[in-house]
A and B are shown apart, each in its own frame.
Chain A
Amino acid sequence: GAGVSQSPRYKVAKRGQDVALRCDPISGHVSLFWYQQALGQGPEFLTYFQNEAQLDKSGLPSDRFFAERPEGSVSTLKIQRTQQEDSAVYLCASSSSRTWAGELFFGEGSRLTVL
């Protein structure tokens, strides 16, 4: 498809498990973003990449969260030793712009539930 693709769409994890969420951005988009959206809240910034470089990771809530984009296309968000407070929708977005992030194209999200 032509849009941002995320997998899995739904993930249930037991507390303490590690999870990996994948994002396939729109082809040719240099910028990629991860956001976390809790129920009833707006998306909260986690991190962003320009090509393979992670330019800002200030939003990652703890060192249990790690994101990578090794070849400048597909990205993976990894959460180690999941906690109940990690339950949220994880949104990936991409943008063609190198200089501003106005129009982000979001994927449908990965809904994580930690039991």
Chain B
Amino acid sequence: RKEVEQDPGPFNVPEGATVAFNCTYSNSASQSFFWYRQDCRKEPKLLMSVYSSGNEDGRFTAQLNRASQYISLLIRDSKLSDSATYLCVVTSGDSWGKLQFGAGTQVVVTP
């Protein structure tokens, strides 16, 4: 079983709509959590960190549920430019430098 699991999608979202998706992680010792964004054939880039209390960055809201070991990302007022693959990332419990990436959730925003 992979340490980080994501629904691969694609999530087809009309422009202006809201989309939300989760990822689950298996290592209860993980301490830090992130969402990265990867455009087609490009490198991943940090979208936002995920804090225990939940956090918001513009149209993006991230939530962490440690008890159930899942992280969520919500995108409001979707833009065409939000089309990308969203990678859920958690730190490994035994090595701070070892980030574990999920396989990604693809989001396609349509006009």
Contacts and interface: CB of A to CB of B under 8 A. Distances in A.
Given A31-B97, A100-B91, A101-B91, A42 B43 contact: no
A43 B46 CA distance: 13
B98 interface: yes
A41 B4 CA distance: 12
B32 interface: yes
Does more than half of chain A's interface fall in helix, strand or loop, or is it mixed? Answer: loop
A102 B89 CA distance: 9
Contact of B101 (A42, A99, A103): A42
A103 B98 contact: no
A25 interface: no
B71 to A, nearest CB: 14
B42 interface: yes
Interface in A1-49: 31, 33, 35, 40-45, 48
A106 B91 contact: no
Q: How large is the interface on A (under 10, 10 to 19, 20 to 34, 35 or more residues)?
A: 20 to 34
Interface residues of B, number: 22
Contacts of A108: 42-43
Nearest to A92: B43
Interface in A38-80: 40-45, 48, 50, 55-56, 58-59
Contacts of A45: 92, 98-101
Contact of A100 (B32, B45, B100, B104): B32
B100 A102 contact: no
Interface of B: 4, 32, 34, 42-46, 49, 87, 91-92, 95-104
29 contacts: A33-B97, A35-B101, A40-B103, A41-B103, A42-B87, A42-B101, A42-B102, A42-B104, A43-B44, A43-B101, A45-B98, A48-B97, A50-B97, A55-B95, A55-B97, A56-B95, A56-B97, A56-B98, A58-B95, A99-B96, A100-B32, A101-B96, A101-B98, A102-B34, A104-B46, A104-B99, A107-B43, A108-B42, A108-B43
Interface of A: 31, 33, 35, 40-45, 48, 50, 55-56, 58-59, 91, 99-104, 106-109
